Amino acid sequence: MQNFVFHNPTKLIFGENTIEIIGKEISKNSIKRVLLLYGGGSIKKNGVYDAVVKSLKENHIEFVEHSGVVPNPVLSHANEGISLCKRNNLEAILAVGGGSVIDEAKSIAAGYYLNNLWDAFERKAEIKDALPIFTILTISGTGSEMNPFAVLTNELDKKKWNIGAACLYPKVTIIDPRIQMSLPWSQTVNGGIDAISHILEYYFNSTVQEVSISVSEALIKTIVLCLDKLQVNQNNYPARANLAWAATLALNGFVGASTLGEWTAHRIEHGISAIYPEIAHGAGLAVVFPAWISYTKNTNPSQYERFAKNVWNCYSLDEALVAMKSKYSSWGAPVSLRDLNIPKEKIGEIAHNASRLGVVGNLLPLTEKEMAEILDLAY
Ligand code: NZQ
Ligand code: ZN
């Protein structure tokens, strides 16, 4: 096993009726004025907004609202958030939403201290400081609630790129799985498939980290089981709670300790949703990941066989890929570019877009050419 450092500074508060303590948690950090960041309004329908505002008021925390974060969040809206923070002397950001809201919060938090936020995404500026970030997670999947990464789209250049810095870990995250009962089914599925994909980004090249591999298999099987249960009853609290915790563990540094990640399927997916922002990240991964597995299967055959057997209870990888895709389909997820209504002629453009950050991957480094071949398989 390779040496590693595991240091996750996010305080995670998990369970029913936990949202009401957000004001106290912010207060404990001597913060009095926050940017309240949220998306298209789901939090106003399910009571989360009211609970948050009540808690902020009770704890004498002033707030300025910045709503309208879109799924696959965009640079222009993050820049507006930075201006709001500066104009109003805000001291922290409270993100209430999913990965999109939390990622935009991290971008604003970093951008507050930069001359030009996008420079950090272009790797031209280092993120050394950020406003403190607090989050209330409303959809599980990305792991952003307990990691130091953010993904943002520069909508003019169609670049969906990422940043990462230690100062971007949220200070406090609250997860009340009950509030995810208001999710549309398709979003629950997108989140679950995203979390499975995070685990798989590490799984295939880790052969000596038995803890990570065994935990990965257990987490994937847990997520599959929870989604199956939620498909029957979306108000099943234990299934919501286990799905939420598994998704956080999938990308908070625990599974990835001592393991090189691939992040190739993610890079290709970001190329898809950069061009088609209406496509959810998890939906894109449902299409790309099985194709990537099939394309790379000869790079580390014993690990792929182990995946087939231990995760899907199959004797061969080909059989496991059929099982994986039919499970995804049974949840209503797309499993081909056709399902996403992407024409074959677009493959070249997506591969070009996805490869603009350079070669990616360890098992099989991918250039534009290989990405196009994987997308062909996904068609
Ligand atoms: O905007 P509102 O009205 O809130 O609706 C949202 C949105 O339409 C809705 N929603 C969220 N919670 C809800 C709810 N609807 C009803 N009830 C609730 N409780 O769900 C929709 C999707 O939300 P979004 O935040 O976009 O989803 P997700 O958490 O999947 O985030 C996706 C973004 O995160 C990035 C993705 O690329 C994408 O941009 N990722 C971030 C990562 C990270 N920071 O580590 C890693 C991931 O690999 C990923 O790239
Ligand atoms: Zn992801």
Residues of the chain below pLDDT 50: none
- Taking the CA of 194 as reference, the closest ligand is 2
Closest residue by Cα to atom 22, ligand 1, is 71
DSSP codes joined into one string, 24-53: HHHHHTT--EEEEEE-SSHHHHSSHHHHHH
Residue 221 is predicted with a pLDDT of 98
Closest residue by Cα to atom 26, ligand 1, is 71
Residue 263 and residue 239 in contact, taking contact as beta carbons nearer than 8 Å: no
Closest residue by Cα to atom 48, ligand 1, is 142
pTM above 0.85, yes or no: yes
Q: Which residues line ligand 1 (CB under 6 A)?
A: 39-43, 46, 71-72, 97-101, 103, 138-139, 141-144, 147, 149-151, 179-180, 182-183, 187, 190-191, 194, 251, 266, 281-282
Residue 318 is predicted with a pLDDT of 97
C-beta pairs of 123-131 under 8 Å, 24+ apart in sequence: 126/165, 127/163, 127/165, 127/167, 127/168, 128/165, 128/167, 129/167, 130/106, 130/165, 130/167, 130/168, 131/85, 131/90, 131/91, 131/92, 131/93
Tokens at residue 158, please? 């169609």
Residue 259 is predicted with a pLDDT of 86
Tokens at residue 109, please? 């938090």
Residue 102 is predicted with a pLDDT of 99
DSSP codes joined into one string, 159-173: EEEEEE-GGGS-SEE
Rounded to the nearest 10°, the torsion over CA 284, 273, 365, 219 is: -40
Distance 32 CA to ligand 2 centre (A): 33
